[in-house]
Amino acid sequence: MKIIVLTENHAGGHYGAEHGLSYFIESKEFKLLFDTGHSDLFLKNAAKGGINLENEIDTIALSHGHWDHGNGLQNITGKKLICHPDAFMKRYRKGGVENIGLDNTRYFYDNSFDLMESRDPVEIYPGVFFLGEIPRKNDFESQLTSFIDESGNPDFIPDDSALAIISDTKLAVISGCAHAGIVNIVEYAREVSQIHELKLVIGGFHLKHKNLQTEKTVEFFEKNRPEILIPSHCTDLPALSMFHDKFKSPLLKTGDVINF
């Protein structure tokens, strides 16, 4: 089983980069696209790697309704799209006027995809789970937000979700931005999959500083030790440096291939 990084913040080799995330996930049993970034770059990078996404996949999982994870959807319609039902709301930064949600209206997604919305976990393929809405149980993640929703209320990104994949009796967890908290996500992935041992945790962790949240997240992974741990995308340099120091986590780049 492998992940091919189609969109990331950092360029690798002859692959382009943008602020966004898109992963092509492939095994002998399935091929799945997780997020699309915000342009057609994921298609261009896939083509450079010899992947014709239009022919290779029939399902896209959307981690949440932010522009840098889902605006690329307008470039690959006609697929099954699974997401949380709150993914299509307009949303803003506090004090901002620019919509940082998805560009298109709900009408577009209804008419351009075989749309499946779920707050509950869904087994997309055997051993592959879209987690739906993540319970937020600990006291150090998802405590504050810099966003508001279309009604002007604090937006804690309730649609933030992730994938849980059983790989050789171990668990891989793939996050888009982890607005729900990467620890909350991992613990819920364990509950849904009934697998405790961690093979891989990868994706945006939404950690920005060397603060209490980052320290407690590092402590969690020190205790639980996934074989592969790769924070990326919305994880800023101060937090990335902590993960590199503790776990030798690499800097993820477009074109990278992670086997798990």
Give yes or no for a contact between 83 and 131, defined as CB atoms under 8 angstroms apart.
no
Which residue is associated with the tokens 């996930």? Answer: 25
pLDDT recorded at residue 80? 98
Enter the pTM of the model: 0.97
Distance of alpha carbon 187 from alpha carbon 26, whole angstroms: 24
Across the range 89-118, mean pLDDT stands at 96
The confidence score (pLDDT) of residue 5 equals 99
Q: What's the mean per-residue pLDDT of the chain?
A: 97
CATH architecture, domain defined by 2-259: 4-Layer Sandwich (3.60)
* Closest of 245, 124, 145 to residue 193, by C-alpha: 124
pLDDT of residue 231: 98
209: confidence class by pLDDT, cuts 50, 70, 90: very high
Please name the residue that has the structure tokens 């800023």: 236
CB 134 within 8 A of CB 190: no
Question: Using CA of residue 239, residue 226, residue 20, residue 189, what is the dihedral sign?
Answer: negative
Pairing outcome for strands 31-34 and 59-61: parallel
Residue for token pair 């896209």: 60
pLDDT at 192: 98
Please report the pLDDT score of residue 97 as a whole number: 94
How far does Cα 123 stand from its chain's mean position?
A: 17
Give 233's Cβ-side CA count (13 Å radius): 26
Least Cα distance to 235 among 186, 201, 197, 190 occurs for 201
- The fraction of the chain above a pLDDT of 70, given in percent, is 100
Question: CA-to-CA distance for 156 and 133, rounded, in angstroms?
Answer: 12
pLDDT of amino acid 79: 98
pLDDT digits (tens, 9 = 90+) for 171-191: 999 999 999 999 999 999 999
Locate 108 and state its tokens.
């577009």
pLDDT of residue 73: 98
